[in-house]
Amino acid sequence: MLACAIATAVACTSPGEPSVGITPELTAFSFTQAANPALPGDVQGVITGDTIRLIIPGIVAVDSLVPSFSTNETSSVVAIGAAVQRSGASRADFTSDVRYTVNSSTGNFRSYVVKVTVFTGLPAIFVTTDGGVEVTSRVTYLPATVRVYGGKDHPEWSFTATTDIRGRGNSTWDNPKKPYRLKLTTSASMFGFPADRDWVLLANYWDLSLARNATAFRISEVLGLAFTPRCMPFEMFMNGAHQGSYQLCDHIEVAPSRVPAGADGWFLELVDRGRAESDGDSYFQTPQIDEYTTRYDPSPSVWSYKQPAPPSVAQRAVIEAQVLAFEQLLYGSGFADPVTGYASQVDVRSLIDWYLVNELSKNNDSAFSLSVYIYRTATGKITFGPAWDFDLAFGNYPYDGQPEGWKVKVSGWMERFFADPAFVAQVKARWLLLKARRGEIDTFVRDYTDRLALSQRRSHALWYPYLPPPSLTAGPVPEAFASPVLRGSASLFSDADYALEVQRTRAWLSTRFDWLDQQITGL
């Protein structure tokens, strides 16, 4: 009998002898600031059945806290294992769940599991700029210190380092909730990811679910793209002020654990020419992409160099010749020849997998206008990826939010690829693999958003109501997207609003799966 483990404090019944008396219970469990000066205030536990949950409102160490508790029987003894605990005096380590047992003098006992959540349960990053200077540029870096708190589940992730920080993004940089770029002084692992100096802090301002990028990256992992950005949700603090729920991600760059183009390879991003010119980037145009994008925008999309950056004159000559030759081959009369056609120049598997991620998510940005990435090793083929930039995907794009309809298939180079029956057959085969994993993807969305339950509450309280997305096409923003619409009479974005947004996203993705399955099967 468990109660006999503390025989010096509690009388035990003989084997087989029935116990008498009431079952001992914990009637209250808390952490008081008086007994725990590091706490920002008293924390009351919620007792549900045999589980006690406490949420610490600030990010503090929980490896040595003193709980206060009461029982329904004054003679009961409370213990952790064989160690008797005294209310308001005994310390315990709550970095993991702790089991308390209440033992009565009659030999009855009851166990409780105490679960402590620190802040929102997510890890945190604290950035302090030198002198507390505000980050106002996405070009100029400021010196800063970054402190990483791994959370109570991963104390090994915690460290402090020096860094530089600047803003990042394009239209997202104009939002009140800013995305950032870190360049650590020394390469280091963040949240257990492979070490590097360069990291991205995504704000996900327009994504009420806070899960669209993570969902797209999960789909990319399911399909097995050569590199999928690793990301982790976390709480962002800038110069001591909480900024809400963010995502730390790998910076999109050529590196051993990132884009596998190799030191002698190249890496390009399709961007708006105006952006490339304002950023001072080296770029070039290709006729077919130029013709396609200028149908919709006077400023065409161009291929901007991410590696080499900047390229030499000789490097430009080689790289641009390769891309232009590929495009000419793709639009030539023998483009579908399996030996001499486009397949001789492009990694078709990467193309199809990249396509499916972006078509399933209906990602407008990757419809050969923005956020299309291609790379090539020194001796390899042109490869598509990584998948990136999904905050306005999964039904979140104001001008084309319905789950039906093609998006990427009818854009840019894709129209030409789909003119090849062999390409279509390969798309169908890869789609079957992805469709078989749709339940797993839905489970990911549900579990990921469950993990954000406390984080989204604080984040939406900071930033809601949100500014509408920018005017990405000519004409007014549809009325439904002109400003956020509250459900019910709540004055702020509530937990119920978040649950509805998650359900809406899951339902959208389910309908999108069904529509695409019918369409791809019928190609």
Domain total in the chain: 2
pLDDT at 465: 87
Q: Which residues of the chain have pLDDT under 50?
A: 1-19, 474, 480-490
Q: Which residue among 71, 97, 118 closes a domain?
A: 118
Tell me: do 114 and 128 sit in the same domain.
no
Q: Which residue among 118, 141, 159 closes a domain?
A: 118
DSSP 420: S
**Residue 86 belongs to a domain:** yes
pLDDT at 486: 44
Closest Cα partner for 406 from 398, 416, 415?
415
**Residue 102 belongs to a domain:** yes
Q: How far is CA 107 from CA 9, 75, 153, in A?
A: 11, 12, 35
Q: Give the amino acid at 332.
A: G
pLDDT at 297: 78
Which CATH number do you get for residue 61? 2.60.40.2340
Tell me: do 106 and 177 sit in the same domain.
no
pLDDT at 115: 97
**Residue 319 belongs to a domain:** no
**Residue 153 belongs to a domain:** yes
Tell me: do 154 and 235 sit in the same domain.
yes
Residue 483 has a CB neighbour count (10 Å cut-off) of 12
Q: How far apart are CA 517 and CA 10, in angstroms?
A: 66
Tell me: do 200 and 225 sit in the same domain.
yes
Tell me: do 113 and 137 sit in the same domain.
no
CB-based contacts of 92, cutoff 8 Å, min separation 6: 64, 65, 66, 67, 80, 85, 98
Tell me: do 128 and 224 sit in the same domain.
yes
Tell me: do 149 and 114 sit in the same domain.
no
pLDDT at 471: 58
DSSP string, 413-482: THHHHTTSHHHHHHHHHHHHHHHTTHHHHHHHHHHHHHHTHHHHHHHHHHHPSPPPPP--SSSPPPHHHH
Tell me: do 136 and 196 sit in the same domain.
yes
pLDDT at 6: 47
CA 94 to chain centre: 27
Tell me: do 162 and 46 sit in the same domain.
no
**Residue 141 belongs to a domain:** yes
First to last CA, the chain: 68
Q: Which residue among 250, 274, 300 closes a domain?
A: 250
**Residue 335 belongs to a domain:** no
Tell me: do 88 and 154 sit in the same domain.
no
Tell me: do 201 and 227 sit in the same domain.
yes
- Write the burial class of residue 414 (CB in 10 Å: 0-12 exposed, 13-18 middle, 19+ buried): buried
Tell me: do 111 and 141 sit in the same domain.
no
**Residue 81 belongs to a domain:** yes
Instruction: Quote the domain boundaries for residue 84.
Output: 2-118
